Amino acid sequence: MKKKILVMIAGLFVIVLFAFVPKSTPQDPWKVPDSYKTKANPTKADVASTLATGKTLYNTHCKSCHGTKGKGDGPKAAQLDTDCGDFTKASFHAQTDGELFYKTFEGRKDMPSYKKKIPDVHDIWAVVNYMRTFK
């Protein structure tokens, strides 16, 4: 009887332990080629039509994971193995436009590549400009 109780307590302990372990795994640094880090954004960040295009594409392709306000809290975020990131943080804004373009264009792991989903590179740059509006 004591053995059965100990096994049940141990099982319960394991269940509780896993309930508090974060689902996301630590991410390796995302290595961006130097050629992208220094790539200049050919679109103007302050043009209303560019931001409108970026917002429309973000809402279509990005919002479900990254959230309405870019905090990484979209409805699909909890299903991912990796953290979506928070576009309002200084660490996000410290990245160059070229780095953000590369990550959106190429993707990795849970983050899909958008080179085929958004084939016009100027539209990807518009998404980068829109992501910059999250503060």
DSSP structural state of residue 108: B
If we measure between CA atoms, which residue out of 96, 97, 116 comes closest to residue 106?
116
pLDDT digits (tens), the chain, 135 positions: 666 654 445 444 444 444 444 444 556 899 999 999 999 999 999 899 999 999 999 999 999 999 999 999 999 999 999 899 999 999 999 999 999 999 999 999 999 999 999 999 999 999 999 999 999
Domain count of the chain? 1
Question: What local confidence, expressed as pLDDT, does residue 72 receive?
Answer: 97
Q: Which single residue is written with the structure tokens 């954004």?
A: 41
Residue-range definition of the domain harbouring residue 67:
32-131
Task: Answer yes or no: is 36 within a domain.
Answer: yes
Task: Answer yes or no: is 18 within a domain.
Answer: no
Question: What local confidence, expressed as pLDDT, does residue 76 receive?
Answer: 97
Task: Answer yes or no: is 1 within a domain.
Answer: no
Task: Answer yes or no: is 61 within a domain.
Answer: yes
| Encoded amino acid at 127, one letter | V
